[in-house]
Amino acid sequence: MSPLDRTPPALRGADGEGSVQVHQDESAKIEGAKVFSVYGKGGIGKSTTSSNLSAAFSMLGKRVLQIGCDPKHDSTFTLTGTLVPTVIDILKEVDFHPEELRAEDFVFDGFNGVKCVEAGGPPAGTGCGGYVVGQTVKLLKQHHLLDDTDVVIFDVLGDVVCGGFAAPLQHADRALIVTANDFDSIYAMNRIIAAVQAKSANYKVRLAGCVANRSKDTDEVDRYCKTVGFNRIAHMPDLDAIRRSRLKKKTLFEMPDDEEVVQVRKEYIRLAETLWNGTEPLAPAPLPDREIFELLGFD
């Protein structure tokens, strides 16, 4: 829309029909597995949460696939112990001829059998994250890598600001939001809730709840949730053991069994059990900007 346009775009209807969203390729549907998309403010600990949640699902005997959807491709490095190449990097090497790829070219084994994929992203300032996610899912389906999978976890970068990075919501059964007990994180959560609500008009995705991460207290998170009709379904405290696990390129399930680590592991196992058993499909009402400032803003 140019600066002189007076009529805003229509944002209703199916994705791709009078919408700024990218429509899902019908051949890319994920069937059989339970699919979760993890969102939250940049730097809030989505990758830490995703990787430890994947590990927890694997400890419950589930066959898990984690897909990192961030150009910096560090979603799975605590599961694999290294930065694995991205799907986009591998496709470039074969001049974007996916038929030349083998599964082992882009799927890597992680802790306790968790399968790890880094989708990557387009070059800075170009392309669309939705295309990258779509190509990754197509490759996984072409190689039948989703046939023997119980749980798929998408770890998605930062706040949802465009249809491209909302693309994993087209595949997910439930969206999980990682937040902290502060204004910026909760403001981002409010925007993500709005994005999920928009996608839920055309896709099966619904909100599962939020995880309070790196937070001693949860009072502000709980106050927001009570106001909009949302649920906090886990709390990961701000422990140094979690920071150290990232530095050691390990999940918490590979760290020494000190009291702090054991307690957080139990919370991740409890979260995995909650998600596996099924959560109520939540439909909170996101707050307008002015109202969220009044709820959580400074005096």
Give, in degrees to the nearest 5, the angle at Cα 163 between 158 and 164: 70
Residue type at 10 in one-letter notation: A
Judge whether residue 254 has pLDDT over 60.
yes
Helix (H, G, I), strand (E, B) or coil at 52: helix
- pLDDT at position 298 is 58
CA distance 82 to 250: 10
Average pLDDT over residues 119-148: 78
Residue 111: band (very low, low, confident or very high) from pLDDT cuts 50, 70, 90: very high
Cα–Cα nearest to 234, from 212, 266, 258, 202 = 212
Give the lowest-confidence range in 21-25, 32-36, 52-56, 105-109. 21-25
The side-by-side arrangement of strands in the sheet containing 108-109 is: 108-109, 115-118, 64-69, 151-156, 34-40, 174-179, 206-213, 232-236
Residue 73: band (very low, low, confident or very high) from pLDDT cuts 50, 70, 90: confident
Active centre residues (catalytic): 41, 46, 72, 159
- Could you report the per-residue pLDDT of 10-32, keeping only the tens digit for each? 445 555 544 444 555 555 677 78
- pLDDT at position 129 is 65
- pLDDT at position 14 is 57
- pLDDT at position 297 is 72
Pick the residue with more confidence: 172 or 126?
A: 172
151 torsion bin: left (phi>0), alpha (psi -120 to 50), beta (else): beta
- pLDDT at position 19 is 45
CA distance 141 to 79: 22
- pLDDT at position 282 is 92
- pLDDT at position 212 is 97
- pLDDT at position 248 is 93
- Could you report the per-residue pLDDT of 172-223, keeping only the tens digit for each? 999 999 999 999 999 999 999 998 988 898 899 999 999 999 899 999 999 9
Provide the token pair at 75.
């979603």
Cα–Cα nearest to 116, from 88, 71, 79 = 79
Judge whether residue 42 has pLDDT over 80.
yes
Judge whether residue 109 has pLDDT over 80.
yes
Pick the residue with more confidence: 145 or 218?
A: 218
Annotate 71-122 with DSSP letters as a single string.
Answer: TT--TTHHHHSS-PPPHHHHHHHTTT-GGG--GGGT-EE-GGG-EEEE---P
Provide the token pair at 109.
């084994």
Question: What b/e readout covers 170-187, taking b as 16+ CB neighbours within 10 angstroms?
Answer: bbbbbbbbbbbbebebbb
The percentage of residues in the chain with a pLDDT greater than 70, rounded to a whole number, is: 84
Average pLDDT over residues 239-259: 92
Residue type at 66 in one-letter notation: Q
